Amino acid sequence: MHTHTVNIQGDPGSHLLLEVDFKWLMAGQGYTVDPDRLLHDPAYADTCLQCAQRSSCIALQECALNLREVLAQAIH
């Protein structure tokens, strides 16, 4: 199954869906993600995102790329 989460700029709900998708896709690969830490610890987030991008799951790779963009915008 191939899923896509649409990230709509200015819509915080789309960010939440992206985070939830990421958490569940990571769980499907056997990894546990702490959502609070993901949002507040840049080193932890980077580690999780790198792990996701090395995955063979295309949906997870795409989700990680989108989430990386959202997190980068949140820092600025």
Report the pLDDT value the prediction gives residue 74, as an integer from 0 to 100.
77
DSSP annotation of 29: T
User: Under a CB-based contact definition with an 8 Å cutoff, are residues 59 and 68 in contact?
Assistant: no
Please give the average pLDDT of every successive group of 10 residues along the chain, which has 76 residues.
45 77 97 94 97 97 95 78
Q: Judge whether 29 lies within some domain.
A: yes
- Count of positions (residues) in the chain: 76
Number of folded domains in the chain?
Answer: 1
SS3 32: coil
- For 71, the domain range is 12-75
Report the pLDDT value the prediction gives residue 13, as an integer from 0 to 100.
58
Render 43-62 in DSSP notation, one character per residue.
Answer: HHHHHHHHHHHTSS-HHHHH
Q: Judge whether 20 lies within some domain.
A: yes
What is the Cα–Cα distance from 48 to 34, expressed in whole angstroms?
A: 10
Q: Judge whether 7 lies within some domain.
A: no
Q: Judge whether 59 lies within some domain.
A: yes
Report the pLDDT value the prediction gives residue 36, as an integer from 0 to 100.
92
Q: Judge whether 6 lies within some domain.
A: no
User: Under a CB-based contact definition with an 8 Å cutoff, are residues 70 and 7 in contact?
Assistant: yes
Report the pLDDT value the prediction gives residue 9, as an integer from 0 to 100.
52
